[in-house]
Chains A and B, each alone.
Chain A
Amino acid sequence: MAVQAAHAGGGIADHIHPEPQGFIRRYVFSIDHKIIGIQYMITGFVFFILSGLLAETIRVQLMNHAGGFVSNDTYNEVYTVHGSAMVWLVIIPIVTGGFGNFVMPLQIGARDVAFPWLNMLSFWMFPVAGLLLFSSFLVGAPVAGWTEYPPISLEGGVGTSMWCAAIFLIGVSSTLTGINFIVTIMQMRAPGMTFTRMPLFVWAQLATAPLSMVATTALAAALAALFIERQFGVPFYDPTKGGSPVLWQHMFWFYSHPAVYIMVLPVFGIVSEILPTFSRKPIFGYKMIAFSSMAIALVGFMVWAHHMFTSGLAPYLQLPFMILTYVVAVPTGVKIFSWLATLWGGKIHLTTAMLFALGFLALFTLGGITGIFLAAIPYDLHIHGTYFVVGHFHYVLVGGSLTGIFAGIYYWFPKMSGRMMNETLGKWNFALFFIGFNGTFLPMHWLGILGMPRWVPQYDPQFEFWNRFASVSSFVMTFGILLFFVNVIWSLRNGKKAGANPWGARTLEWQLPSPPHYYNFKHIPNVYGLPYDFSLPLPYKGLDEELTDSPAPVPAGSH
C-alpha cells in the first residue's frame, strides 16, 4: 500500500522494490540493511554475554593469588576465547555491521547498501564463525591468547585450527562489508550530499571501511599460513624448520593495530552524532573531526611494530614506529578537544545516551593517554606484556568502544524499535557500569608497573588486594550491564512510543518514521547543507511526504 503511494510520487530514484513476504525472507535471510544491522547487533550481544561470562570466570579465578577456580589449561582457554570473541564477534561486528548497516544508508538518504545480497552473505558468515569459535571448547579451545603467537600456537589440538578458521571467516565477512560500505558511501548519497555535508557517523564509516578491507587481508594470509602449518606441516613459523615466528607477529599486528581503529572510529562517529544532538549545538570543527578520522586511519597503518619492541627487531627500525605512534596523539587530541568544545555553551540534555557519550569521552581519553606510555620504547620495555597493557586496552575497547556502543543503542533504539528505552534504568545502567569499569581496570595499571605479567592463572601474593578489588568492581560492572539487557527487553514491550524524532535530532534517519519503512525513503531527498545547524531549518527538500501518510497504526508488537 505504501509502496504504491511511493510509486505514484514519481521523481528521481523512486523505483522501490516490493517488500519480501514471509517471516524467513523478512527477518532471517533478509536483504534489508536495517534488519541486517539489527541481526548483527543481536548476534553480537549474544556473543557478548558468552564472552562476558568468560571474563567473569577470569575475575573469579584471580580473586585468589593461587587461583583455584579453574585449572591452568581451562583458564588459558577462557581468556583466549574471551579476547578473541570480544574483538571479532562483539565489537567489530556491532560497530561496523551493526550500526554501520542500520544507520549509514539512512543517513546518506539511500534505500539500501550497494550490494544487499552480499550484505546478507557477510552477516551469515558471522554467526557461523562465532559458533565455530565457541564450539572449540568441546575439543579443547585455543590457549595462547588472542594473539596466538607461534610456535606455541602450533602446539595442541584441533581447537586452535578452529580458531584460525573462525577468525578467517569473520575476516572475510568484514572485508566484504568494507567493500560494500565504500561503494555505498561513494555512489549512493542523496543528491546534494557532498562529502562536506555528510554526517560524521558516515565519515567514520568511510574511514573504517578501507581499514577492514586492506588490513583484514593481511590477517587472513597470516591465519591461512598458521592453519596450513598446523594441519599440513608446511613450515611458515616454526624456526626449527626454517620458519620465522616473528613473521606472524608482523602480519598479525599489521592487522591488529588498524583493527583498534576499526573498533573505535565508528564509535567516534556515534559520539559525534550524540554530542551535538543533546547539546543543541553544531559539532565543533566538523572538518577537522572528519579529516582527523582519515588521518588516524592512514597513520594507523604505519605503527604496527609498536607491539613488538621486545621481539628483537633491529633497534633503529623501532624508532620510526615509536614516533609515528606519538603522532597519532595529534589527530586524536583534535577530536577530543573538538568534542569538548561542542559541549561548551550548549543546552545539554543529560539523557542516558548523552551520559554514555560523555562516559566514552572520559574513558577513551584515559586509554589514549596510557597508550603513550606503551608507545615510548624505554617505558614499553618495562610494561610490555603486563597488566598495564590489559588496563590500557580495556580503557580503549570497553571504556571507548563498548561505552560508545551503549551510547549508540540508547540513541538509536527508538529508531530501530519505535519505542523509547527507560531512562531511570538507563541511568542506573550507566552509573554502575562506569563505577564498576573504573574499579576493575584502573588498578591494573599499577599492578602491571609493579610486576604482574598478563596471561597468568596465579600471581604473586602482593598483588592480591588490587585483584580482589578489580574482581568485586567487575561484578558491579556486570550488574550494570545486566540492567542494560533488562532495559532493552522491558522497553521493547513497554517503552513509550517514540515517534519519528524523539531527540530533536537533525540527521536524515530522524526525519523518517520509527521504525522506517522497508524502503526507507519514498522520495530521495535533496540535501543542501550540514545537518548540525540548530538555528537553521532542516537542510533537506522532498521529505514532506515521509511522515504524512504513514501506514495506519498497528497494535504494539506486531509491527
Chain B
Amino acid sequence: MAENRQAVGFGRGFWIATAVLTVVAAGSVYFWYTLPISNALPEAILTARQIDDLFRFMAAVGSALYVFIFGYIVYFAIAFRAKKGDDPNAIGVQVHDNVRLEVLWTILPALFVVLLSIISVKIWYEITLQPANGLVVEAIGHKWYYTFRYPQVHGEITDEMHVPLGVPVTLNVTSSDVIHSFWVPAMRLKTDMVPGMVTTIRFTPVRPGRYQIICTQFCGTQHAEMNKQVFVIEDRPAYDAWFHSWQAKNANASDAVATASTGTVALAGGDAKAGQATFQAKCSACHAIGPYSQRLVGPGLKDVLHDPSHPSLVDGDAATPANVAKILQQGYKGDMGQMPSAQMNAIGDKDIANLVAYLNSLK
C-alpha cells in the first residue's frame, strides 16, 4: 500500500509540479517586495511606509500560499483525473487522515497568525502613538464638503487643509450631519466623521504635495463629489503665508460681528457656586458636564477651558474665559446647532460671570 501511494501520489510529476510552484511562489514574493507602490500612490506621512511594508508582507505570504493552493488544485485535477479507458468503478487511495500533516497545517498558520499579530500591533502602536505636540486642526464633514478650523484663525476654512511639512498634526474630526469619512489615500489613513462624536488621528507629513481627501462613507446624493478636495503640504514659509492670509481674511469678517456686539462682560468676581446652580437650571438640557465628545445638543463642557486637544471654541476663537463669555453673551450658530444668546437664555451679565467662573473651576 505504501509503495502504491508513492507511485500514485508522490511520483515524478508531483515533485516537478512542486518545484515549478516553488519557483512561481518565490517570484511572487519578489514581485511584491520590489513593486514600486509609492510611484502609483505617494507615501505622504511618516507611517505610510510601514503600512505599505505590512502590505508587502501580507501580499507576499498570501500570494506564495495561494500559488501552492491554486497550483495543486490544478495539478491534482489533471494528474489524478479518471482517464478514458479506466475502470469506471476504480477508486482513489483510501486515506482518511494523517495526524502529522494535520498538526503541521494547524501549527504553521497559527505561527503565521502570531507573527502577523506582532507585526500589526507594532505598526498600529506607531500610528496611534504619533506625537501630540504639534499643530491641532479640527475637520468637520458636511453634506458635501469639509471645513477646517485652525487655532488663531477665526471661523472656518472650506475644502482645503494645509499642514506644514514635518510638523506632527493632531486632527480632531466630527460631522455636522451624517457620517462622512476623511480618507487621504496618500497617507494610508482614514477615519469616520461621526456626528456627536470627536475622533482623533495623528500623523506627521513627510512629503510635500497635493493629495486628495475622499469621503468613503455614503452620505447622500453627492457623496461622490466629496472626492475632489485637495490636501496640500508645503514647506514652512509658504505655510505661514497661507496661514496669515486666512487669519487676516477671517479676522475682518469677525471684527464686523464684534463691533455689532454689546460690549464686554466684567468677569472678575464670578461665583462658581452660583454658576453651578445657574448651569443646572439653564444649560444642562443641552450640555453635559463631560468631555467635548459627550454631546447632548451642544458639546460637553467639562474641559471647555482646559482641553489641549480642543484649543479653540466652536466659533474658532481661543478657549479663554473672555471668549466663552462672548459665546454666552451673543450665542453662536454652528454645525451642531444653535447655542442661544444671553437674552434667549434669560441670563444677565452677573450670571455669565458666575457661569464662566464655574466652567473655569472644572477640571
Contact = CB atoms under 8 A, between A and B. Distances in A.
B195 A240 contact: yes
B9 interface: yes
A288 B296 CA distance: 52
B344 to A, nearest CB: 19
A172 B179 CA distance: 29
Contacts of B102: 285, 288, 334, 338
Contacts of B199: 312
Contacts of A286: 96-97
Interface string B7-36: 011000000000000000000000000000
Contact of B80 (A145, A152, A347): A347
B124 A378 contact: yes
Interface string B201-214: 00000000000101
B317 interface: no
A341 B185 CA distance: 41
B223 interface: yes
Interface stretch (A178-186, A449-457, A485-493): A449-457
Contacts of B80: 279, 343-348
B237 interface: no
Given A152-B219, A246-B194, A341-B101, A310 B181 contact: yes
Contact of B113 (A240, A326, A454, A535): A326
Interface range, A side: 35 or more
A151 B179 contact: yes
A482 to B, nearest CB: 26
A286 B188 CA distance: 43
Given A330-B106, A346-B92, A366-B66, A152 B179 contact: yes
B242 interface: no
Contact of B95 (A334, A345, A369): A345
B93 A281 contact: yes
B51 A382 contact: yes
Given A330-B110, A330-B113, A347 B194 contact: no
A63 to B, nearest CB: 15
B291 to A, nearest CB: 13
A345 B5 contact: yes
B289 interface: no
A379 B51 contact: yes
Nearest to B296: A242
Nearest to B96: A282
Contacts of B110: 330
Nearest to B65: A369
Nearest to A462: B40
B41 A378 contact: no
Interface string B311-355: 000000000000000000000000011000000000000000000
B113 A327 contact: yes
B196 A239 contact: yes
A362 B220 CA distance: 37
28 contacts: A143-B218, A155-B178, A285-B96, A286-B96, A288-B97, A288-B102, A312-B191, A326-B117, A330-B110, A333-B105, A344-B9, A348-B76, A349-B81, A358-B73, A361-B73, A366-B66, A369-B65, A370-B62, A372-B62, A378-B51, A378-B124, A378-B188, A379-B54, A386-B216, A453-B215, A456-B223, A456-B224, A533-B94
Question: 4 closest Cβ contacts across the A-B interface?
Answer: A239-B196, A385-B216, A345-B93, A346-B92
Given A343-B80, A347-B90, A378-B50, 12 more contacts: A76-B218, A144-B218, A242-B296, A281-B91, A343-B72, A343-B77, A344-B9, A347-B91, A372-B116, A377-B120, A379-B188, A450-B40
